[in-house]
A = this chain, B = another copy of it.
Amino acid sequence: MDKQDIQRLLEEVRAGNLSVARAIEQLRHMPYEDLGFAKIDHHRSLRQGFAEVIYAKGKTPRQVVAIARGMLLPRTAHNILITRADAAIYRAVHRLNRHAKFHPLSGAIGIRRNTENVGKGVVLVVAAGTSDIPVAEEAAVTAETMGNRVESLYDVGVAGLHRLLHHHEKIAAARVIVCVAGMEGALPSVVAGLVAVPVIAVPTSIGYGASFGGLAALLAMLNSCASNVCVVNIDNGFGGGYVASVINRL
C-alpha cells in the first residue's frame, strides 16, 4: 500500500463509497512497513551515491554478473563495488562494463560511474607490513568507490618508527584514517596518538603461532590506550573503508 493506495482509499471515504469503520480496518491491516519502511528505503536510496556492494566470495562469475547487471540498470549512476573476487569474475564483469577495474591483491573490483568526491576530506589508509596490503587495498578501493579521495601509506610498522614519522605531514592532513595491522596490532595506537581525527583500526590475520588468526591484533586494538580508535572485524578492509566513508561524508 503506497501513497496512491492511500489516496484512493481516502477518496472513496470522501465519496461515501467506503465507511469509516471499514477504512480503519483496511488501514489497520495495511502492511505497516509500506508506510514506515518505504521511508527507510527512501533514506537508503538517498544515501546511495554510496556504491552498491557485492560480496563475490562463493558466487560464480555468472551470479556476480547477474547481480551487477541489475545494479547497473537504474538511471542514477551508482558506483559498484565487488569484494573478494578473482580474475575469472573480473573478466566476466569487465565484459559487462568497461569501467570495471580490478585490484588483484585484495580481489576488489570497482565500477566507478560517478567520480564525484562526496567525502569532505582525505581518507588515509595506513598499513603496518607488506603482508597487510591486501586488506589495506580493500579498504582503499572501498573508500574510493564510495566517493572519497584516498591516500595510502604502507610498510610503516611500529618497530621502525622513523618510517612512520617521516610521513607525519601526510598523516596530519587526513580527515579519517583507516589503520591496518596484523601481528601485535600496535600501529593504530601510535598513529592515533599523532592526530585528533578518528582512526578506524582493522586487525589482519597476518602473523603465525600466537597470532591465532588475528586475535592478537584484534585484542590489542580493542585495548588501545589512544581514545580516538575504534575497531572493525579481522581482515575486514571493506568495513574499515566503509566506516571511514560514512564519517568522511559528515
**Is A166 located at the chain interface by the 8 A CB criterion?**
yes
Q: Tally A residues with Cβ within 8 Å of B.
A: 106
Partner of A32, one of B36, B131, B242: B36
Shortest Cβ gap from A41 to chain B (Å): 6
Contact bitstring A1-34, B, C-beta under 8 A = 1, else 0:
0010011001101101000100110011111111
Distance in angstroms between the alpha carbons of A100 and B189 in the assembled complex: 31
Q: Is the CB of A225 within 8 A of B161?
A: no
- Measured CB to CB, the closest approach of chain B to A170, in angstroms, equals 11
Query: Could you tell me the distance between the alpha carbons of A131 and B176 in the complex, rounded to whole angstroms?
Result: 30
Protomer copies? 8
Pick the contact of A209: B27, B159, B165, B233 (CB < 8 A).
B233
B184 touches A189 (CB 8 A): yes
Cα A32 to Cα B250 in complex, Å, equals 28
A211 to B223, CA, bound (A): 6
Q: Chain A's interface: helix, strand, loop or mixed, by majority? A: helix
Q: Which of A32-66 contact B (CB under 8 A)?
A: 32-41, 43-44, 46-47, 50, 53, 58
Contact B210 A223 (CB under 8 A): yes
Q: Is the CB of B131 within 8 A of A58?
A: yes
Q: What's the minimum C-beta distance from A171 to chain B, rounded to whole angstroms?
A: 10
- Are A184 and B30 touching (Cβ within 8 A)? no
CA distance A96 to B177 in the complex (A): 39
Judged by a CB distance under 8 angstroms, whether A185 is at the interface is yes
Taking CB as reference atom, which chain B residue is nearest A236? B209
A-B contact pairs, 7 of them (CB 8 A): A7-B20, A10-B23, A33-B166, A47-B196, A182-B223, A184-B224, A210-B234
- Known contacts A3-B28, A175-B250, A230-B232; 7 additional CB pairs below 8 A are A31-B168, A46-B196, A158-B158, A184-B219, A215-B219, A218-B222, A230-B230
